[in-house]
Structure 1
């Protein structure tokens, strides 16, 4: 055991190895941060069968987001004094419990619809939102004072959850399409796999604290005055002590104003994405030759391209770092709104698949570009705070987009 103090840790130790092992763990933790929620979205066709009049893909998104944003606002305000280890473990535990209860609820109701089952699904969706606020803000804030590759791996894991669930949805549809209750069997398999992944993440997060390179970064953060790492350092056998005198740090308001363009970038990225995906994909794209496969293919193409695109910024000359360039690219992306409208009205399924793929490609690429550039130049406590603020902006964009998504069904008979 050794001690890191804020006053005497002036010499920066050499970085230990284990970077790639930490990146793999970050990827899996990212996967676990959204796999449960993405499973709920991906089995949307099952919920449309159970609750055809309740717009499940749109309603569940609207239930999820206010709880995620509300919890994250509180956690962001108090983040400098919150035990990050307890926060993240609580988030993964809540995800595990809620996912398991979704499975139990379906088994208890024997896969029947009804308002009681639907309310139960909505309540568990609210738990997903609270868990998301704990994990995404906590993990991004924690990784922000480490290295950009960890942030990129975590963000890639978030997208991989969508790609994985889409792949599983294709496989389960192939396996159960002709069997009795095939949709329900596929949905149960989805939720069971998600429950296992959430349990695995609880174990992996405890292991993450003991990786040498993670201990190095957290020790460095402690030397710069970050108190959120104390519990993780203690779990790794390191005691962090602090002097009463700490350097003056920027407030949350000052950080937000200095990075208001990055905040706007994330809001605008997800306002557009969620105003189209998944509600528009399920309810507004019409019927085509692919039949019941059509929404599944669209969701899969979005998720796969979103995942792949998050690795593009690893190539230095392909990474967009200009603040002005990022904003221009994000604003230009709003041309997709009329493109989707006219394609749904006049185009065939090939053009819609292409557009949905491009939506996923730009979503993942621009998200990683913004999130990995933003924390440069700040001390560890400020990077942690900025990570929480940017995740809050991201969730705000998701919620706003989910609300705007309802505009697509104005005038439709199903409304």
Structure 2
């Protein structure tokens, strides 16, 4: 039995070497051994990867959405900035380590470990609040513990995000689309919770506490669901099938688990050179987005009509269109890598456009132009993130797709970090 077109793309991507006959014959031999792919019954694998995509961003969203409550508890501390730096660095450093030793570790182990780490970091906050802080301001020893929980969450993100995107890179394109759509869904969920909390809770210390507890309770529940779903899906025939393809391909190559120092470093360089432009595009996407959103949205624009609902509406609009963009990639995926990377560079035009919305003519500084631009920022962020994240792992042989996916996560995290730093210095 032969492979489908998708499976042939997994096995015979654009070549890392010039020996096309060797790769083609390797694909044929693997196809003969493994056979045709089983059907994803009831789309269970797709749903699981969607939930996992939503799950690995929810912990960060819970911490940063509850920042008003933490700012109330710990006055005089730059909570949002400390959280951002602590989370990004604690995610970045383990990712570098994982890339170097990904071929010696199991994605299943990393994902399960990361989900447990996520859950522990999230449980810390409500337990600390219930038994130690008790809504009392200025308990700065609890602040230190909270920052440690954020760092722990960042480590969990490196394990889960790298593992999920890496393993999705070994599967057909639809599963990467599920992951990135899930990440966007987490933003929509958080926006919905924030609107509900603002509508039903008073905007005082008690209301902020109830809101924070809701964020963390929902996120902990999602983490538990992720652990259960992933361990069920990991045994599904469709997942096992593509894992078999990878194993057979590794045997054809000589099994990368036994690659040593210089050989593996050479392989990493080849992977990096193949996906570097996709990575550059992803890096630019998040530098532009994070230097504008959410800082510009929450601090620089104002509405006399919508008042304090204005930033919430803008953030919700961004998150909804980010989801639309990522979901649309499942309908139409741009296959031209030059156009995709060029579009990522073209997003730099958002800088002058948002500048005009703040300093331009009066009619441009109204709610409608700002809302349209914010939604376009989300739409392009979502769609082109999905495009480059999907194309990059498919540009290397399947046995290296997981590593390519993890390298793309590294580009993403560096883009987030640089974008966050630029937002400090870019004064509109």
**1:8–1:38 CA distance, 2 compared to 1 (3 A):** closer
Residues 226-256 of structure 1 show CA distances to partners (whole Å, capped at 9, x for unaligned) of: 89xxxxxxxxxxxxx979999x986111111
In the alignment, the residues of structure 1 paired with residue 274 and residue 107 of structure 2 have an alpha-carbon distance, to the nearest angstrom, of 25
> What root-mean-square deviation, in Å, do the aligned CA atoms of Structure 1 and Structure 2 show?
2.7
Q: Does 1:253 align with 2:269?
A: yes
- Report the Cα distance in structure 2 between the residues aligned to 1:370 and 1:69, rounded to whole angstroms: 20
Deviation of 1:178 (Å)? 6.8
Q: 1:391 to 1:178 in 2, by over 3 A?
A: closer
Aligned to 1:91: 114
Residue in structure 2 matching 1:275, options 280, 287, 291:
291
**SS of structure 1 residue aligned to 2:329:** helix
Tell me the equivalent position of 2:3. Answer: none
TM-score (structure 1 length as normaliser): 0.86
> Where does residue 336 of structure 2 map in the other structure?
322
* Divergent runs of 4+, >6 A: 6-9, 241-246
1:102 aligns with 2:125: yes
1:42–1:299 Cα contact (<8 Å) kept:
no
Tell me by how many angstroms 1:403 deviates. Answer: 1.0
Residue 89 of structure 2 is aligned to residue 66 of structure 1: yes
Aligned-partner Cα distance in 1 for 2:369–2:80: 23
> SS in structure 2 opposite 1:121?
helix
**Partner of residue 370 from structure 1, selected from 383, 388, 396:** 388
Alpha-carbon spacing, 1:185–1:9, altered in 2? closer, same or farther (3 Å) = same
Compared CA separation, residues 50 and 370, structure 1 to 2 (3 A): same
Q: Does 1:145 align with 2:161?
A: no
Asked if 1:54 is matched to 2:73, the reply is no
Deviation track 1:308-329 (CA, whole Å, cap 9, x = no partner) reads 210112223xx32222212221
Query: Do the aligned residues in 2 keep the contact of 1:91 with 1:135 (CA within 8 Å)?
Result: yes
- Structure 1 gap ranges (5+): 1-5, 228-240, 411-415
Provide the secondary structure at the position in 2 that maps to 1:39: helix
Query: In 2, Cα distance between the equivalents of 1:243 and 1:44?
Result: 44
CA distance 1:89–1:154, change in 2 (3 Å): same
Q: Quick check: which one's helix share is greater?
A: 2
Q: Which secondary structure does the structure 1 equivalent of 2:394 belong to?
A: coil
1:148 Cα shift? 0.7
Q: What is the distance in 1 between the residues matched to 2:297 and 2:83?
A: 15
1:109 CA drift (Å): 1.0
Gaps of 5+ in 2: 1-26
Q: How does 1:181-200 map to 2 (within 5 A)?
A: 181-200=206-225
- The more displaced of 369-378 and 261-270 is 369-378
5 Å-filtered alignment, 1:205-224, equals 205-224=230-249
Among 226, 238, 242, which residue is 1:201 paired with?
A: 226
TM-score computed with the length of structure 2 as normaliser: 0.84
Deviations 1:86-131 (A, max 9, x none): 1110100000110111222233312334343433322211111111
How many matched pairs? 389
After superposition, the C-alpha distances for 1:176-200 in whole angstroms (9 at most, x for unaligned) are 1378722221111111110111111
The match for 1:387 is 405
> 1:294 — aligned with what?
310
What CA distance in whole angstroms lies between the structure 1 residues aligned with 2:94 and 2:40? 33
